[in-house]
Amino acid sequence: MKMKMGLWVLLLVTVMLLNLSSPCSAWFGFGNKHKPSRNSVLPAQPSIIKRTSHGSSIVIPLYGNVYPVGFYNVTLSIGQPPRSYFLDVDTGSDLTWLQCDAPCTHCSETPHPLYKPSNDFVACKDPLCASLQPSDDYECENPDQCDYQIDYADQYSTLGALVNDVYLLNFTNDVQLKVRMALGCGYDQTFSPSYHPLDGILGLGRGKTSLVSQLNGQGLVQNVVGHCLSSLGGGYVFFGNVYGSFRVSWTPMSPTDSKHYSAGPAELAFGGKKSGAGTLTALFDTGSSYTYFNSKAYKTLISWLKKELHKVPLNVAADDQTLPICWRGKKPIQSIREVKRYFKSLALTFSNGGKVKTLFEIPLEGYLILSNMGNVCLGILNGSEVGLGDLNIIGDISMQDKVIVFDNEKHLIGWAHADCTRPPRSRAFSISSY
């Protein structure tokens, strides 16, 4: 799910089986006369792959922050020759895609030149293409091509074709591989009011097109992905098991949601006391800058905050539009620490099916930001107002300074407090760089 600057985005994936006469397919030259070759991608390297195993991992630095940047991104080297691209990290969606010069019908401003696609197209009946379909009984206008359309609820959308190309990846066992994997060539984008210049999206969800699923399918890493977002900015994202040195708390992934990293039921607590908001199911999503509660939980939170702040020297800053609710002090606030005595921690307690309960703590820094006007603003928003219904989103702000692990093999979500400015290092582990 892609949510920028707090606008929740519900990912709706559909694959458009476009007519060959349409402009969307014509730019790729799909007439038989102009049909491209499919052998331009580097061949497999079995001698190198043999040295790589599920015990290896990949770690990639993150850049950005919750505020004022509003997103975290990685730099990936893709193509032949490899070129660098900035991709927003999104654990709420599957497909990795780049804005694409094929040529591009509508593209936004990009940090780098537009991606020039390979000639190795993913076929319409390929399992990767099928995973993007709204149903199993889809038909193919062109069997040699997988067209897709991804629509986001914040009015952002991308239309493109699925291709295979080479990713240049550094593994933690000191092996560098040119790995051929699928990605989207997005040539027609519709932009949301809050969009920012980007080369594309790094999809880290649970589906077949997700990068971690493709890496695991080639036997390169365990089907485990995670991240560590620093409140100071930056951090890292990882593929494979790199969390052995952390004391991780675990909770099962929700059995009723096979598409997202969600968990529950959980009980919300304010200042160590039960909130009375009922049980919640929460989705962990780096595509959202902020955290979203359903209407009942949000209103309960606001009511609690009003009581807590009734006699403190903070007033609502109606002129600060950074987020829906901000407070000002008698003078500009310089640090969240200055208001620590006025706000208490929040927590989600996951029941784990009646077994030992697991606590996900949300400290002040996990739900407050310091605006550029010197006020503190609430980084938890009302999800019901943006179409989430009863769904709850744990966004970037509440995952800061924790290593978050999504173990797709054991169907577990884990977390542990961590210094995200210092990626783990050991004999078997070193940070990936480009």
Residues forming the active site: 90, 285
Task: Round to whole Å and give the CA distance between 342 and 299.
Answer: 19
Residue with the two structure tokens 């291709």: 163
Number of neighbours of residue 121 by Cβ within 10 angstroms: 25
CA dist 419 to 122, 203, 233, 260, 405, Å?
40, 24, 11, 26, 15
Task: Round to whole Å and give the CA distance between 26 and 43.
Answer: 28
CB 10 within 8 A of CB 387: yes
Q: Is 79 left (phi over 0), alpha (psi -120 to 50) or beta?
A: left
Task: Round to whole Å and give the CA distance between 225 and 286.
Answer: 12
Instruction: Sort strands 157-170 and 147-152 into parallel, antiparallel or unpaired.
Output: antiparallel
Helix (H), strand (E) counts: the chain: 6, 25
CB 233 within 8 A of CB 120: no
Question: What is the total residue count of the chain?
Answer: 434
Residue with the two structure tokens 């995200």: 420
Residue with the two structure tokens 């706000």: 343
